[in-house]
Structure 1
Amino acid sequence: MRKHLLTLLFCFFWIGFPLVSKQNPKSIPPTTYRVMKGDSWYGIARKMKVSPDALAKLNGRTITENLYENEKLRIPGSKESITLSADTKVKERFAYPLHPKEKVQKKFSELTYDPYKGIQFRRGNSSLVRASASGKVVHADYMDGYENFVILEHENGLYSVYGNLERIQVTEGQQVKTKDRLGILAKDKGLYFQINQNKSILNPELVLERGAE
């Protein structure tokens, strides 16, 4: 169990929590496209023969966000592999760890040259951090750059991590239910939130939006 936990922590904290994919040296760097008046995500994607979602994800955006004239977009090369999220079945609905909900300040990214394997919420009025799903506290500790953090283990090999806490209010081995208190958020940082399923990395925003599948 100790060895498994150390392996898990290494995965979470490799380059500051995010898990970094191995870069393929043969990958072709993304090309670029200058947005023109009247362009849309779907139109550009069709023109460049790529998926609209992949195009938006590559640029750290979503297809619901507006494009701006003369904006430069990165376009996936023919050998560039962009994974939007791991294919998983999440049986339990994950709740937002902050109430009221805060906007996402930094989004999830699996890009080899700019990975970010979780999301960071904006620091707003929310200070109480709650469990996103029921589970067991498998680790609670401190790490430079991410303050105090808590890792929960859920069913089906799922783990969630909560970073940038000023104070932890749970102990290792404790069983928690959805929305139970985990700690108090640091005054000057937004919550860092990550979800893994075994060694697969999930997009926390998609898990929170989709809920149970």
Structure 2
Amino acid sequence: MRKFRYILILLGILFGSSLSPKQNPKAEIPSSYRVTKGDSWFGIARKFKISPETLAKLNGRTTSENLYEREVLRIPKGNEKLAVSQESILKEKPAFPLTQKEKVLKKYSELTYDPHKGIQFQRGNSSLVRASLPGKVVHVDYMDGYENFVILEHQNGLYSVYGNLERIQVTEGQQVNSKDRLGILSKDKGLYFQMNRQKQNLNPERILEVGI
């Protein structure tokens, strides 16, 4: 199921509501949560509608620290629920995902007759693919049309997708910093790059120019 969700992100399909059972609006928020494989601070915080910083702080941790499978986290309730602080807003401008700026061959498009949920770069001299923002590797896979691809999860429900890789040099669960190596491009294709904020597709070209 988790794998399928990340594939849907790549395809730009709205996901989430149809993949999980309806929640009882009267159900109380649990006071604790047991970490499972693939969880992240940002994913857990989004599930309980709190900021990752608040969740980490309540548990005496920071979001830069790794989570461990089966550890139990305390979930803030009532007055413990703090509003998202200004510090949790992503201020860092995303880095260019290639070592050199390459021409965009196919632009982002929301046109119903020709949708394109990411951008396709020209295959130039840049072969090294880098993380555009710090985050966690949540999915590594192969798909026809995108070849090998990597999905990173960032703060505030942001995801970035890097496709058309010949070799992937990260593993699922790995934490990466901005400009860290993700892999090497295919010899005959340029980088496919996509950004999402939860269910919403974003224009990667604009974000690279002006930030989020």
Fold match by TM threshold 0.5:
yes
Distance apart, 1:19 and its partner CA:
4.0
Distance apart, 1:145 and its partner CA:
1.6
Which residue matches 1:198?
198
What secondary structure is seen at the aligned counterpart in 1 of 2:93? Answer: coil
Distance apart, 1:90 and its partner CA:
4.8
Q: In structure 2, do the counterparts of structure 1 residues 181 and 174 end up closer, same or farther at CA, with 3 Å as the change threshold?
A: same
Q: For 2:136 and 2:155, locate their aligned partners in 1 and report how far apart those are by CA, in whole Å.
A: 10
Which residue matches 1:121?
121
Q: For 2:152 and 2:165, locate their aligned partners in 1 and report how far apart those are by CA, in whole Å.
A: 14
Q: Is 2:135–2:155's contact at 8 Å kept on the other side of the alignment?
A: yes
Q: For 2:169 and 2:6, locate their aligned partners in 1 and report how far apart those are by CA, in whole Å.
A: 22
Give TM-score, length-normalised by structure 2: 0.62
Which residue matches 1:135?
135
Q: For 2:90 and 2:162, locate their aligned partners in 1 and report how far apart those are by CA, in whole Å.
A: 19
Equivalent runs, 1:1-213 vs 2, <5 Å: 3-13=1-11, 18-19=12-13, 90-212=90-212
What is the RMSD computed on CA atoms of the aligned residues?
1.6
Identity of aligned residues (%): 70
Q: For 1:180 and 1:100, locate their aligned partners in 2 and report how far apart those are by CA, in whole Å.
A: 14
Q: In structure 2, do the counterparts of structure 1 residues 130 and 190 end up closer, same or farther at CA, with 3 Å as the change threshold?
A: same
Letter paired with 1:10: L
Gaps of 5+ in 2: 15-88
Runs of 4+ aligned structure 1 residues displaced above 6 Å come to none
Distance apart, 1:7 and its partner CA:
2.1
**Deviations 1:159-192, CA, capped at 9 Å, x for gaps:** 0000000000000000000000000000000000
Give TM-score, length-normalised by structure 1: 0.62
Q: For 2:98 and 2:145, locate their aligned partners in 1 and report how far apart those are by CA, in whole Å.
A: 20
Letter paired with 1:134: P
What secondary structure is seen at the aligned counterpart in 2 of 1:97? Answer: coil
Distance apart, 1:5 and its partner CA:
4.8
Q: For 1:211 and 1:11, locate their aligned partners in 2 and report how far apart those are by CA, in whole Å.
A: 21
Q: For 2:98 and 2:6, locate their aligned partners in 1 and report how far apart those are by CA, in whole Å.
A: 24
Which residue matches 1:44?
none
